[in-house]
Copies of this chain bind each other. A is one copy, B any other.
Amino acid sequence: MNRKKALVVFSGGQDSTTCMFYAIAHYDEVELVTFNYGQRHSNEIEVAKSIAEEQGLKHHILDMSLLGQLSPNALTAHDMEITKEADEEMPNTFVPARNMLFLSFATALGYQIGAGTVITGVCETDYSGYPDCRDIFVKSMNVTANLAMDRNFVIETPLMWLDKKETWAMADDYGKLEYVREKTLTCYEGFIGDGCGECPACRLRNEGLNAYLNERD
């Protein structure tokens, strides 16, 4: 295992792009993996590709279209509307164990490329009811992956306990706030940067940004 090589689970959104800069700051070698699972916005993959290219990082794009076989849902079934209610217990974008599936593949790929660390931007602070974004799940997944491959991987989650404001602060620490703000895609409607401003993802992102900028400036 190479303790100085990290594989970042990378969607081209704010969180995983911030994790990418975290990885660049802390590791000698960084590679990215993006899962193509029929995202609502096909430009998600393009955004991820373009960031990877700009950073000169090796980028693995894995076809996860199998997810569609498991579960029709709002993010992959293009004819459904995303519920915008913030107070639902479980958003209708729920794919069972999606993050478990992603981390299973990411750790297997990590094994293949000799990366001792897999970094993922999941966080419990705004986990939206996905049980496989919780810290205790990631820790269990870490043990399971180690046992599966007889390797001591570390799954790192730099954002686990941060809120959006603190995630913006981290990007700023790396001098990348403007880059993350302008280049990443978070919006459910597929607009990069500050996005549509109205979907739950945009609201969360922009409220965090404004809170951080107000505090900083």
Q: Which residues of A contact B (CB under 8 A)?
A: 62-66, 69-71, 96-97, 99-101, 104-105, 107-109, 111-112, 131-132, 134, 136-137, 140-141, 143-145, 147-150
Using A100-B108, A100-B148, A144-B144 as known contacts, say yes or no to A63 and B70 having CB atoms under 8 A apart: no
Q: How far is the CB of A71 from chain B (nearest CB, A)?
A: 6
Q: Establish whether residues A136 and B147, one from each chain, have CB atoms under 8 Å apart when the complex forms.
A: yes
Q: Which of B65, B134, B149 contacts A97 (CB 8 A)?
A: B149
Q: Establish whether residues B132 and A96, one from each chain, have CB atoms under 8 Å apart when the complex forms.
A: no
Per the bound structure, the CA–CA distance linking A123 and B149 in Å amounts to 16
Q: What residue in chain B is nearest A94 (Cβ atoms)?
A: B149
Query: Which chain B positions have C-beta within 8 A of A112?
Result: 70-71, 96
Per the bound structure, the CA–CA distance linking A143 and B161 in Å amounts to 22
Interface pairs (15), CB distance under 8 Å: A62-B66, A63-B69, A64-B66, A70-B109, A71-B108, A96-B149, A97-B107, A100-B144, A132-B149, A136-B147, A137-B144, A140-B143, A140-B147, A141-B148, A143-B144
Per the bound structure, the CA–CA distance linking A72 and B133 in Å amounts to 31
Q: How far is the CB of A200 from chain B (nearest CB, A)?
A: 21
